[in-house]
Amino acid sequence: TLAYDIGTGTGVLSAVLARRGVARVVATDQDPRALDCARANLGRLGVADRVEVVAADLFPDGTGAPGTPAAPAASLVVCNPPWLPAKPTSPLEHAVYDPGSRMLRGFLDGLAARLAPGGEGWLILSDLAEQL
């Protein structure tokens, strides 16, 4: 089974997927600090052998554009995007701010092309966004 974790951040979703039996997870992020954090966490949790951490803007091929050459289709694609449509003012705020909903739109626009037949896409959002 192959899964993609788009915008992995700390790598927690990738770790959960690996621990739940997903054979191979490809975790992407464009932030070098997030990639380092994910690698460290996955190593500490003992799942680094099943999770490949890749520098990419959204999908493993590096694009969010439908119709671009893509990595193999996955049976599961998950994304926990930043959930505030505002401009970040510090590196830390990139975790919660998504200017113009660029990441969310890119994920939704590119999802179908990355799913294997019968595959699922999971958009994971915090209920904190509803309280703002």
Mean pLDDT, the chain, rounded, equals: 84
Residue 125 has pLDDT above 60, yes or no: yes
DSSP string covering the chain, please?
Answer: -EEEEET-TTSHHHHHHHHTT-SEEEEEES-HHHHHHHHHHHHHTT-TTTEEEEE-SSSTTS---TTS--SPPEEEEEE----B-S--SSGGGGGTB-GGGHHHHHHHHHHHHHEEEEEEEEE---GGGGG-
Q: Determine the pLDDT at residue 36.
A: 97
pLDDT score of 132: 54
Residue 68 in this model has a pLDDT that exceeds 60: no
Which option is the CATH number for 2-131: 3.30.450.20, 3.40.50.261, 3.40.50.150, 3.40.50.10420?
3.40.50.150
pTM: 0.82
Q: What are the residue boundaries of the structural domains of the chain, listed by start? A: 2-131
